[in-house]
Amino acid sequence: MEAITLQRVAIRPLRRDDLDAVVAIDATSVGYTRRGYFVRRLEAAMREPKLHAQFAATDDRGLAGYILARVLEGEFGRRAFELRLEVIGVRADARGHGIGSSLFDALSDHGRRHGIADVLTQAAWNDHRMLRWLDAMGFSLAPVHVVSCDVHGSEYVPERDQAAATVDDENAPHEIDYGARRGDFERLARDAVDVRAMEPADLAEILRIDRSITGRDRQAYVRHRLAEAMEDSAIRVSLTAQLDDFIVGFVMARVDVGDFGRTEAVAVLDTIGVDPKYAGRGVGHALLSQLCVNLGALRVEQGETIVAPHDLDLLGFLYSVGFRPSPRLAFLRRIE
């Protein structure tokens, strides 16, 4: 057996010129190339460096591993800043030598220096290799519920789009063509609620609704999520709802493939809000119903979100529209 010589490993911030090596390492794990996903993650970090933590491990052979995380600043009702560990990868010939641990140490140190106390992540219940690594890094089950729903609606895919690019393809559209098969979309939209794609001009009304629900001014968080909805997701799926010529509700969601080891496109719901003055008028149901129709047209088969265990109203609402406990588990690691 050929002897393996351990080489000196250095940890540094991930750079744009690491892209090809990152994509190659990832492809050896998942079996195909997810270049589009990593391009979006790296570009997002360049635009908003304070909201991302991305590190590389290098040895004499080049890039040996990488870790990508994002700062959570208000998703799912959170009040404290947290790090969301999205992706970690190690070159095949470098595994088993503590590179993943060194990368996680760099991420933890970044959190300490920026006053962040927790790292959150997810894994499928049967991803045994990842579960063993999370256990070794000191993660435990997070006190949240991960819920998901099957999206039914593939029958709404226009025939001319049958051979369209997938979500992670660089040629994929960056927003839905709401003019295509308009009759189908209108037929399934709720009778009295006008649901349309979210636009940057909606910011003021979204902030108003968010303040009326949370009692806090989360302008920075809402601005960042709106920017992500417009620029950072593979496909734009965030929506607003109108009644009486006013925006009365919104859902911020993103479609991507890659986070937490996913190999298929998933729509992640970050925030949903309905103006309390319009509660009970079906606004939330209309938003999620239209979202599912649109996702079905894009061949996205899963929706997912995280709910705090004490938020029984939101959990009950999501269950009423088809969400169920997810086969994915959420994990938490305190940064000491």
Q: Which amino acid is at 323?
A: F
Give every CB contact of residue 76 below 8 A, 6+ residues apart in sequence: 144, 270, 271, 305, 306, 307, 308
- The chain-wide mean pLDDT, for the chain, equals 82
Element (H, E) at 274: strand 266-274
Q: What are the distances in angstroms from CA 170 to CA 44, 161, 164? A: 16, 16, 12
Residue 284 and residue 249 in contact, taking contact as beta carbons nearer than 8 Å: yes
Mean predicted confidence (pLDDT) in 98-115: 95
Alpha helices in the chain (DSSP H): 19-30, 35-47, 99-113, 128-136, 182-188, 203-214, 219-227, 283-297, 312-320
Higher pLDDT, 289 or 157: 289
What domains sit in the chain, N to C, each tagged with a CATH number? 10-116 (3.40.630.30), 152-300 (3.40.630.30)
Of 17 and 182, more confident = 17
pLDDT cut 70: percent of the chain above it: 82
> Is-contact 44 16, C-beta < 8 A?
no
* Of 228, 253, 252, 255, nearest in space to 173 by CA: 255
Q: Has residue 186 got a pLDDT over 70?
A: no
